[in-house]
Amino acid sequence: MLREAVDSALANVVLTPAEPDPQALSRRHWSLAAEMGWTAADIDEAHGGLGLGLAYIADICESAGRHLFCGPFAETAVLLPSVAREVETLSALLPGVAAGDVRVAYAEASIPDGSGGSVSFAPVEHALQATHLAVIEESGGELRVLITDLDGAEISPLQSMDLSVSVARVVLPDPSRCPPITLGAEATRRVLSAMHIAVGADLLGVGEAALARTVEHVSSRKQFGRPIGAFQALKHRLADVHTALRTARLALAHGVGDGATFQDTRAARTLAADAAMRATATAIQLHGGSGFSWELDLHLFLKRARRLNARTGGTNRLRASAGNDYIERTIAARA
């Protein structure tokens, strides 16, 4: 299994709050990703890639979440190739992506039409490590995407909540150099599907790691003379976390399969985000005092889950659009 290979590669390069140097770690993670061919996984062979497809990407991203991978993996190795499949001109970047030389910073923001003057984006994730920037704006079922190199960009670091990612303000001096691309509804769904799987799998990994740490903790920590994991209320909460993660895993596996629809990938990401939020919050609660201490790495998972959960409007919005689609389809089928 690929997942085990990725896991074992990442297991020795871990972010710890005691050594909180995500920048240095990011460099090490990135060389690993390039060496192991992860950055080439979703790129076809014609562009220097391996053409392994979404199931491989999901495995890599899940491990990335589990090991708090520091670097713009999904943005570079999934988002950029998926946009490039729609916009031929971007495919020139793909060999660089495959080789690990391109790293893409990411922001969701409204994209000005760029007639004159510089334009500023904040917060931008991964900008301190990046060679390129992708800004996406979604509305009415269509994506506008701005992709540019960062030559001449002014990058000022901001404090990041999630230690596994750097955050910055990016000022582009001449945005007219890179006019935004508008993707049609079909193309938008294909691009978003790929990101739903990548982000959903990362969230699943985050949630699984939080659950595993919690099971270990409650099995050894004693209170009132018993391991606290023997208390039924804790058991039931963890059972529900397990079921939520298991459900997300089934949905992701289905979402990378043949014939999976946009609805399937969106549902998978929604379930994964909910499961990860629940797993990480439960982990903090059941660790008691140590759960919110900086020394333990638990909070890193909560913060990563929170960051990823905020993307493209958060699960509220993903969920609502899933519901709208189902309701409209059902009413239309009857009419």
Partner 1 sequence: MTRGPGFLRETGDEAFRAGLRDWLAAALPVAAGDRLGTADLHGLAFRREWEDHLCRSGLSGLGWPEALGGHALSLTRQAIFHEECARAGTPLPVNMIGHGIVAPTLIDYGSADQKQRYLPRILSNSEIWCQGYSEPGAGSDLAALATRAERRDDVYVLNGQKIWTSFADIADRCLLLARTGGGESPRAGISVLLVDMRLPGITVRPIRQITGEADYNEVFFDDVEVPADCLLGEENGGWRIAMAAANYERSTYFVPRIVRMQAELDALVLLAAGTFRHGQRLIDDPAVRSTVTDLSLNVQALRLYADRILEMAEQGVPPGVDGSSVKLLWSENHQRLLDLAMDILGPDVVLGPQERSAPAEGRWNRDYLWTRAETILAGTSEIHRNIIAERGLGLPR
The answer to whether 52 and 39 are in contact (CB under 8 A) is: no
Integer distance in angstroms from the first to the last C-alpha of the chain?
Answer: 47
- Residue 103 or 287: which CB sits closer to partner 1? 287
**Span interacting with partner 1, options 43-51, 153-161, 176-184, 201-209, rule CB under 8 A:** 153-161
Q: Would you give the DSSP letter of residue 21?
A: -
36 phi and psi angles, rounded to 5 deg = -80, -5
Which residues, numbered 191-230, are part of the site for partner 1 (CB under 8 A)? 211, 215, 218-219, 223-224, 226-227, 229-230
In contact, 162 and 304? CB cutoff 8 Å: yes
If one asks whether residue 176 binds partner 1 (CB under 8 A), the answer comes out as no
Max distance between CA atoms of the chain, in angstroms, equals 70
User: How far apart (Å, rounded) are the C-alpha atoms in residues 120 and 170?
Assistant: 6
Dist CA 152 CA 64 (whole Å): 31
| Residue from 147, 267, 272, 279 in contact with partner 1 (CB under 8 A) | 267
Contact partner, 215, from partner 1, a copy of itself, none, Cβ < 5-8 Å per class:
partner 1
CA dihedral 305, 293, 13, 241 (to 10 degrees): -40
Q: Which 89-128 residues touch partner 1, going by CB under 8 A?
A: 107-109, 122-123, 125
Least distance from a copy of itself to the Cβ atom of residue 159, Å: 29
Closer by beta carbon to partner 1, 1 or else 333? 333
Of residues 85 and 307, the one with the C-beta less far from partner 1:
307
Least Å from the CB of residue 244 to a copy of itself: 17
Q: Are 164 and 68 in contact (CB under 8 A)?
A: yes
Residues 6+ apart with CB under 8 A from 134: 75, 79, 80, 83, 104, 105, 106, 107, 145, 146, 147
Based on the shown chain and the rule CB under 8 A, indicate whether residue 139 belongs to the binding site for partner 1. Answer: yes
Which residues of this chain interact with a copy of itself, rule CB under 8 A?
231-236
**Nearer to a copy of itself (CB atom), residue 55 or residue 234:** 234
Q: How far is the CB of 26 from partner 1 (least distance, A)?
A: 15
CB of 234 to a copy of itself, least distance (A): 8
Among 1-9, 53-61, 187-195, 327-335, the segment contacting partner 1 (CB under 8 A):
327-335
